[in-house]
Structure 1
Amino acid sequence: MAGTIIITGANGSLAVHVVQQILTKSPETTLVLTVRRTEDDDPNTKKLRATISKFTSARTSIRKLDLTSLTAVHEFASAVASEITEGKLPPLTGIICNAYYWNMVNDPELTADGLEKTIQVNHISHAALVLRLLGSFDPEKGGRLILFTSDGHEDGKNGLQKYPPGIPEDLDTLVQVKPDSDKQGRGFERYANSKLAVLMWTYALNRYLEKANQAMFHQDEALSKITAVCLDPGSLVDSRALRTNTPQFLHYVQKFVLQPLRPLLRLKDPSMRTAADAGADVTALVLNTAKANERGYFKLLNKESSSKLSLDEAKQEKVWEKTAAWAQITKENTALKSGI
């Protein structure tokens, strides 16, 4: 499926494998790869460039995008939309919302937008990016949106959980978080809540996309060809996430338990896998060669039922509406008019 695919956090552990596999399996695809730091003194960006350099005919660009700034997100979306309109980029066929943030060693942080950093990076900024660019997808082919959740969205499923994930009645408490002495427990709670919000928002997004074919306008009909998948990629034992903003004990667990014992651990838990394994799934989903045109929640490549809380449609709608407000989305800046 020729077209343009955007990948956020493109120098991440998982994303580098996705880039390599897309360029191998679909060399005609144009990749717009966003990172927080484009300089080569960032070792992760340097690795991304080295990966791309193996494909001499690759149609790629590495672009700076700071997801802690909604101004930057909106400016980036406007620039990409203009390039597609002007024919400088092919229409979109996919967006992979891979960038993430968590912090289990410090107090909660606020972005320049005054929002808690974990939920802004993981959810709000990605929602803004997706909604701003829905009108830039190929109107005939549609495309795939890949968002990421984790087992942390469901109470009792992740060993790092100390407090159950949830969506409070006052949703603003998700973006205005008070410090707590339990930095690890509350840090993981913020991460888990963000992943629950991503999942619930994706369910609502799919409902509105599916309804678009009932609209009077051809542009709206085209939106129904876009499918959104919220993926739990599994526990990636080689991910640098386990070494970033995490307690020291997790570094040791990764080095001395998870990585060397992965083949044994995987016998009991198939979700214990590598970033390359997960990258293959993401690549197949975004190229629409796996689970073609299906929507919803997937664990690995299996469509499953998510937590009971995540399936609450009334709360999904509350998350949807509040996210649009946080993300500064209006009827004037998204092609998806219903629900905004």
Structure 2
Amino acid sequence: MAGTVIFTGANSSLGIPAVNRLLEQYPQSTLILTVRDPSKADVNTNRLRDVISQYPKANASIHQLDLADLSSVHKWAQSIAKDIDNNKYPPIRAIICAAYRWNLNRVPQSTVDGLDETLQISHVSHVALILRLIGKFRPDGGRVLLFSSDTHVPGGSVGERYPPGIPEDLNLLAKPIVYEDVFGRGFQNYGNTKLVITCWMYALNRYLQKDADLRNITAVAINPGNLVDSRALQTNTPWWYPYMQTFILRPFLPLHQLRDPTIRTAALAGIDVAELALNPAYAGERGFFTFLKKDQSSAESQDEVKQEALWAKSLEWAKITKDDTALKVVIE
């Protein structure tokens, strides 16, 4: 199954096993793997290099991409589009948007673009990337794979102190209010972002289906599960998160799975991501998935009025105009 696969956050806990699966099962693919820090000083990027080195015939390259800087995202996407036009890379088969950020131990942080970093890195920059490159897919289509989670559902996560929800003023999502409860509101902000991603996925599918040239491209939002060995539990989290991971979650994984079957390892989640992106068994699928099974997202995420509002606001946040994308049907 020839074609380019663009993978953001490729050196993440989930990303590395997913890349290994892609190299192992889909060797004809061209992998463009983006990371924030491609230097040899970065341990996780070196782990990604080690995986690639096990496949000497692989067509895989690592690229630096700062999702916290929209101008860099636009320029990088333009560069990749030009390279596809010049046959440096084959047309796209899949875009996998695995990169994300959360912040559970500090007040909300803004990017150079003035947007909340959780929202921009996890969603807004992916919107810019996807819409810039949507016209560079193979003629027979492909897959956009977005990342949701159980945090987008009210009561869906044990870490929830305040339920996720779309505020009437959507600007509050991009510039959330600073509260005293840094953990609780940070977790809500993360859940809100996953809810936004899920809503946007439905709108994207709707417009792709209306476009005669792009209707064979489908979007899926996956809940990959709660990953007990994810490095995210040690980044921008309170001190007790790593403690919980080391002494409670990992050692007693089978017991936790009795209560919550979505608790699992990053390696298993990575395999599912690779398969959902490229396995022909899932060709043409759209919507929300938990692991590799079609599932129901939250009631609010299925509200078409909110989907449309978030679609329009996401274009504004991502600075996408009618001249930036092949998806002309929805760009005024």
**TM-score bracket for this pair, using the shorter chain length:** over 0.9
Structure 2 counterpart of 1:217:
none
Does residue 1:311 correspond to 2:299, yes or no?
no
1:269 Cα shift?
Answer: 2.2
**Alignment gaps of 5+ in structure 2:** none
Return 5+ residue gaps in structure 1 as ranges.
Answer: 214-220
Amino acid at match of 2:231: R
Using the size of structure 2 for normalisation, the TM-score is: 0.98
Q: CA RMSD in A?
A: 0.9
Q: Tell me the residue number matched to 2:27.
A: 27
Offset of residue 301 of structure 1: 1.2
Matched, 1:298 2:297: no
1:245-264 paired onto structure 2 within 5 Å:
245-264=236-255
Q: Verify: 1:152 aligned to 2:151, yes or no.
A: yes
1:213-268, Cα deviation, whole Å (9 max, x unpaired): 3xxxxxxx2x1110100000011111111111111111111111111111222233
Q: Distance in 1 between matches of 2:258 and 2:108?
A: 37
Q: CA deviation at 1:103?
A: 0.7
Residue in 1 that maps onto 2:325? 334
Alpha-carbon distance in 1 for matches of 2:175, 2:273:
32
Q: How far apart, CA to CA, are the structure 2 residues paired with 1:197 and 1:95?
A: 18
Provide the C-alpha distance between the structure 1 equivalents of 2:248 and 2:233, rounded to a whole number of angstroms.
13
After TM superposition, give the deviation of residue 330 of structure 1 in Å: 0.9
- 1: distance between equivalents of 2:99 and 2:71? 17
Structure 1 counterpart of 2:211, one-letter code: A
The corresponding residue for 2:174 is: 175
Residue of structure 2 equivalent to 1:129: 129
1:161 paired residue number: 160
Q: Hey, what does 1:111 align to over in structure 2?
A: 111
Which residue number corresponds to residue 4 of structure 2?
A: 4
- 1:324 alignment partner in structure 2: 315
In structure 2, the CA distance between the partners of 1:246 and 1:290, relative to structure 1 (3 Å rule), is farther
Post-superposition Cα deviations, 1:130-163, rounded to whole Å, max 9, x if no partner, equal 0110001011x21111100110001111111111
Question: How far did residue 305 of structure 1 move?
Answer: 1.2
Kindly state the Cα deviation for residue 12 of structure 1 after the two structures are TM-superposed. Answer: 0.2
Q: Deviations over 1:62-106 (max 9, x none)?
A: 100000011011001000000000000010000000001001111
Distance 1:254 1:8 in 2: 25
Answering whether residue 183 of structure 2 is matched by residue 184 of structure 1, we say yes
CA drift at 1:288:
3.1
Taking the aligned partners of 1:48 and 1:200, their CA distance within structure 2 comes to: 31
* Cα distance in structure 1, aligned partners of 2:187 and 2:255: 26
Cα distance in 1 for partners of 2:142, 2:25 equals 17
Alignment correspondent of 2:193: 194
Matched, 1:39 2:30: no
1:168-225, CA deviations, whole angstroms, 9 ceiling, x for partnerless residues?
1111111112222111011111111110000000000000011113xxxxxxx2x111
- Give the TM-score normalised by the residue count of structure 1: 0.96
Given that 1:144 and 1:288 are in contact with CA atoms closer than 8 Å, whether structure 2 keeps it comes out as no
How many pairs are equivalent?
A: 331
Report the secondary structure of 1:13's partner residue. Answer: coil
Secondary structure class of the residue paired with 2:218? strand
What is aligned with 1:99?
99
1:238 aligns with 2:262: no
Q: Does 1:276 align with 2:273?
A: no
